Structures are given as structure tokens and as C-alpha cells.
Structure 1
Amino acid sequence: MSRRIVWSTYESSASDTKIDGYFDRVLKYIPADVVGLWLTGSGLIQSQSDAPSRVGLLWLLFVAGLVFSFFWMRQQTAEPGKPIAWQQILLSCGSFVVWVFAIGGPFTELSFYKPLYGSLLLLVYTTAIPLLPPPPSQQ
């Protein structure tokens, strides 16, 4: 199954092509594999009580996860003869940022961070992104 969101079908397309509904789009916008990488890596970093630069390592892992999320989603949504799914790629990268913010990660070191903010942002973002209209190239 492709991770690319299917917005419409054309008369010439295969009869088994299904337009992705709301819940399909939710799943395809969240880079669960990269969030899993984050959870594993940050758990390893935080389990090291003697690591003097835990926060720095968390920020490094966050940036690496964001870069990985971009390239991974670009590869996973690529289909021959179709334009790059920029909207889905960028919103998936945003999903990674929101998930890490909600979990805490390196953001806990920032003065304005409160766990409630992360949880509320996660609820709103995850609920709202599948409601966005398709990109102009796919309408």
C-alpha cells in the first residue's frame, strides 16, 4: 500500500482505486515509523544518567528525525508520473514536530513549555490536517 494520499480517481484509473477518507489521511500524515525511531532513541538517551549532554543529544536526534522524516516521506509518496506530494511531505514533517513536542523531548528545556500545550497541540493538529483540501495539482 502506498503512503501517498489518494484524493480523486479518474475514469481511466483502475476500478479498485479507492479515495482516502478522513481516517486514512490521518494515518498517512503521521510518520509513525519516524515517531517510533524518536521514542526508541530518546528513551536510550534519557536512560543514560551519566550523559552530560543529554539535552544536546535529544536536539541532535530531533533534527535527524526531522530530516529523516522529510526524505522518508518523499520516498514513500513517490509514484511514477505524478508530481511530488509536497503538501503531504511537509505536513508529515509537521506531524513529527508536533508529536515530539507533545512527548516532551528537548522542548522540556524551553521556558514556555508545558505538557498541556503539547497535548492540546497534538489533538488540534492531528484532527485538523486531514480536513485540509487537496493541493491544487490534485483537485
Structure 2
Amino acid sequence: MGLRIVSEQFQSGAESNIPPDEYPDRLRKYIPTEAVGFWLAVSGMIQSAGDDVPKAGLLWLFFVIGLVFTFGWTRRRTNEPGKPTAWTQIGISCGAFIVWVFASSGLLFSTWESYQPIYGSLLLITYTTAVAFVIPPEK
């Protein structure tokens, strides 16, 4: 089963029995769980490393790696023959990864003078709730 969000039900052809994805299905398909799991594991290891490890630099490096992974994995899993690239879904999934990182990594953003962990938590709840209302225009 692919990761691509089904936004309309076709009246004829092989896909006629596949109903459009509802809110919970879109939510599940928008959140890049593999990338979030990668980030939680990597950031936990880096943050628990000794003081001789350049934590901030490694966190930023693996943030970029995770973002590239999210983009590539979502693009690959939403690719279906004869259909346009699912740019909306790819963009929302990359945004979700960024929000998860912001919510779970105080050390990465601790250099920002106005950063407070509550901001990440509130953004995570709001973003996660709101994105599933987005129905991608790509068919």
C-alpha cells in the first residue's frame, strides 16, 4: 500500500473501490513517522554524548539529513504511475518533520534567545490537528 493520499473516488477503472481518505487516514499519511523515529533516536544519542562532542553541529547536520530523508521517502512512497508528483503531501510531510524537531529538541533551538519549549509543543498540536484538513489537489 502506498502512502499517497486518495482525494477522490473514481467512478470507473481499477480504482473504483478505493474510497477517498478521511481525516484520520490523511493525518497518518502526512506525518513522516520513519523520519520522526530517526530524529528521536539520533538526537537522543547526540544529546547524551559527552561534553567533547560538538552536539549543536551534529544536531543541525542530522536535522538536514532527516529533512532530506523525509522529502525523498515521501516522494518515493507517493509516486504512482500516471499521476503527478504529490507536492502538497511532500511539503506537508517535510513541514511536519520540522515541527516535530522543533517540539522535541530544545538543545537544537536553545541558541535562539526567545525559544521556549512550550512553543514547540503548542505548534506540534496545532500543526498536527490542522494538516489533516488539507486535501491535496493532486489526483
What's the TM-score, normalizing by structure 1?
A: 0.92
Asked if 1:125 corresponds to 2:127, the answer is: yes
- Deviations along 1:51-74, one digit per CA (max 9) or x if unpaired, are 331011001000110011101100
**Letter paired with 1:108:** S
Q: State the distance in 1 between where 2:80 and 2:60 align.
A: 33
Residues 43 and 105 in structure 2, CA contact (< 8 A), matched pair in contact too? no
Q: Which has the higher helix share?
A: 1
Q: How many pairs does the alignment contain?
A: 137
Residues 35 and 66 in structure 2, CA contact (< 8 A), matched pair in contact too? yes
Q: State the distance in 2 between where 1:56 and 1:96 align.
A: 19
Task: Let me know the Cα RMSD of the aligned residues.
Answer: 1.3
**Letter paired with 1:115:** P
The residue number in structure 1 matching 2:83 is 82
Q: State the distance in 1 between where 2:67 and 2:46 align.
A: 17
Q: State the distance in 1 between where 2:43 and 2:111 align.
A: 14
Matched residues, percent identical? 53
Shift of 1:109: 2.6
Aligned ranges 1:1-139 → 2 under 5 Å:
1-13=1-13, 14-105=15-106, 106-135=108-137, 137-138=138-139
- Deviations along 1:67-118, one digit per CA (max 9) or x if unpaired, are 1110110001000110000000010000000000011251133212111100
- Name stretches of at least 5 consecutive residues in structure 2 with no aligned partner: none
Shift of 1:38: 0.4
Q: State the distance in 1 between where 2:94 and 2:114 align.
A: 22
Q: State the distance in 1 between where 2:127 and 2:55 align.
A: 28
Q: Which runs of 4+ in 1 moved over 2 A?
A: 13-16
Q: State the distance in 1 between where 2:99 and 2:114 align.
A: 15
After TM superposition, the structure 1 stretch with the greater mean CA deviation from structure 2, 107-116 or 22-31, is 107-116
Q: State the distance in 2 between where 1:117 and 1:35 align.
A: 18
